[in-house]
């Protein structure tokens, strides 16, 4: 047998070992790259799905708000883009993510998303990194009327609350909170769509409430709310307490603090009434008026006690057509309805900086063909049942643009076109 010298044998074994290492490297490195690429492409698929989901959600929300708030007060595209960004969460920290929202003149809403993130070998494979592009187009097949907006937009605020056995019944229309929507105890809300920009909490929603909705702009934010002249231009009538009889008021500026008690009646003639002092109803005092607007200035408000009654229908024409009760923008007073004999509030109640407190022991506004409430805060307690009807057809009081059926129509869902 031929034996190789030790040196030659060592060199041969070393050469064989080198060949094996090279072969292993040639096999393992591509396998490792393949595994890494497979992992990356799986992750890429998930990221694309996330981007598409964010675009879809934003497009649907944009399309809904496009019609809900009316042509004169559409939600900004910047808000829709921020909404989409919020949907992708921490992915935005690993990639450069952007969304572009566009309102279509045909009622569609388009959201385009782009994400760029690093790829292999210093972004050489593929060149420039991974590029994810998505597009979503949503359109409204129908829109529910917009009946209630709680407009407290502060972080952590609760624009609409209901406690005890209180309830809101607004069938076939939208009840929207621009912050949280909070139900406690046995409180319930029955609406076409209960929604909250923040969080909706409680088990009494029918159907289930939508949390995280886009903020709705105040549809009347451009309106100038003020009496035709300063309150000081009329004599100060002080305080008047009436326990019997009827007080009839012509339209104009009222600088008297009325308290209607006993069986007294305050009757408002058709027109616009500007209250520079508060209006209280006690005992069985009654407030009534047809084709009227009540505007409260400063820190003044309506306070309807437990056994009092209210029957009001809003203006049929003029600059305040469709409105029944309004508070000036500097008015932070609480409007209180503690009586279940407030049977008619036909028209729009607009309290931009004011809290509406309803603590009646029964139905409120059930005799109205339709009602709309836009207030900073809406709070229900006790056994109050706030009834928001939406029978717009045939009403003598027109619906203002931006709310009710002037926000778009009745019960047509949204859909994604692509």
**Each residue's pLDDT tens digit, 119-169:** 765 555 566 678 899 999 887 655 678 999 999 977 778 999 999 999 999
Write phi, then psi, for 203 (nearest 5 degrees).
-105, 5
Indicate the pLDDT class of residue 221, thresholds 50, 70 and 90.
Answer: very high
Tell me the mean pLDDT in the region 359-385.
97
Q: Whole-angstrom distance between the N-terminal and C-terminal Cα of the chain?
A: 80
Confidence at residue 63, expressed as pLDDT on a 0 to 100 scale: 79
Nearest-10 crossing angle of helices 6-68, 77-88: 140
Radius of gyration of the chain (CA): 32
- For residues 261 and 286, the answer to whether their CB atoms sit within 8 Å is no
Contact in structure between 170 and 151 (CB atoms under 8 Å):
no
Distance from C-alpha of 200 to C-alpha of 211, rounded to nearest angstrom: 5
Give CA–CA dist 194/372, Å, rounded. Answer: 15
What does each C-alpha distance from 120 to 43, 96, 125, 128, 359 come to in angstroms? 14, 16, 5, 10, 65
What is the DSSP secondary-structure string of 386-418? Answer: EE--B--TT-SSPPPTTSBGGGS-SSPPEEE--
Residue 207 has pLDDT above 90, yes or no: yes
Q: Is the pTM of this model over 0.85?
A: no
**If you search the block for the tokens 């309150």, which residue do you land on?**
231
Tokens representing 359 are 């603590």
pLDDT of residue 22: 53
- Are 82 and 97 a contacting pair, CB within 8 Å? no
Closest CA to 270 of 325, 313, 310: 313
- pLDDT, position 216: 84
pLDDT, tens digit, for every residue of 233-275? 999 999 999 999 999 999 999 999 999 999 999 999 999 999 9
Sign (positive or negative) of CA dihedral 390, 142, 379, 225: negative
């Amino acid at each position: 047998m031929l034996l190789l010298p030790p040196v030659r044998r060592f060199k041969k074994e070393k050469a064989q070992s080198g060949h094996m290492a090279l072969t292993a490297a040639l096999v393992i490195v591509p396998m490792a790259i393949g595994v890494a690429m497979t992992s990356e492409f799986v992750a890429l698929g998930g990221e694309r799905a996330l981007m598409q989901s964010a675009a879809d959600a934003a497009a649907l929300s944009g399309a809904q708000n496009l019609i809900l708030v009316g042509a004169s007060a559409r939600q900004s595209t910047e808000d829709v883009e921020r909404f989409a960004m919020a949907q992708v969460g921490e992915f935005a920290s690993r990639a450069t993510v952007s969304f572009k929202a566009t309102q279509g003149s045909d009622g569609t809403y388009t959201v385009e998303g782009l994400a760029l993130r690093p790829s292999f070998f210093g972004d050489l494979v593929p060149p420039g990194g991974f590029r994810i592009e998505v597009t979503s187009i949503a359109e409204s097949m129908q829109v529910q009327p917009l009946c209630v907006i709680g407009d407290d937009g502060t972080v952590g605020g609760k624009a609409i609350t209901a406690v005890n056995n209180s309830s809101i019944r607004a069938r076939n229309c939208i009840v929207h909170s621009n912050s949280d929507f909070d139900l406690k105890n046995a409180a319930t809300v029955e609406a076409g769509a209960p929604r909250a920009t923040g969080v909706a909490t409680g088990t009494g929603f029918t159907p289930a409430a939508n949390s995280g909705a886009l903020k709705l702009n105040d549809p009347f934010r451009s309106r100038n709310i003020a009496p035709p002249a300063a309150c000081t231009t009329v004599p100060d009538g002080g305080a008047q307490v009436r326990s019997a009889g009827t007080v009839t008021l012509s339209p104009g500026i009222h600088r008297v603090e009325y308290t209607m008690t006993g069986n007294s009646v305050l009757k408002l003639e058709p027109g616009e009434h500007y209250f520079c002092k508060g209006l209280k109803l006690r005992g069985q005092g009654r407030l009534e008026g047809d084709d009227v607007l009540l505007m409260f200035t400063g820190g003044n408000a309506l306070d309807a006690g437990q056994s009092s009654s209210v029957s009001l229908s809003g203006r049929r024409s003029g600059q305040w057509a469709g409105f029944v009760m309004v508070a000036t923008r500097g008015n932070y007073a609480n409007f209180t309805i503690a009586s279940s004999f407030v049977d008619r509030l036909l028209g729009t109640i607009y309290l931009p900086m004011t809290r509406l407190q309803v603590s009646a022991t029964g139905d409120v506004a059930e005799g109205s063909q339709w009602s709309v409430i836009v207030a900073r805060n809406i709070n229900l307690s006790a056994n109050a049942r706030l009834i928001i009807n939406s029978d717009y057809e045939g009403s003598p009081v027109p619906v203002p643009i931006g709310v009710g059926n002037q926000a778009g129509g009745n019960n047509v869902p949204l859909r994604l076109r692509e």
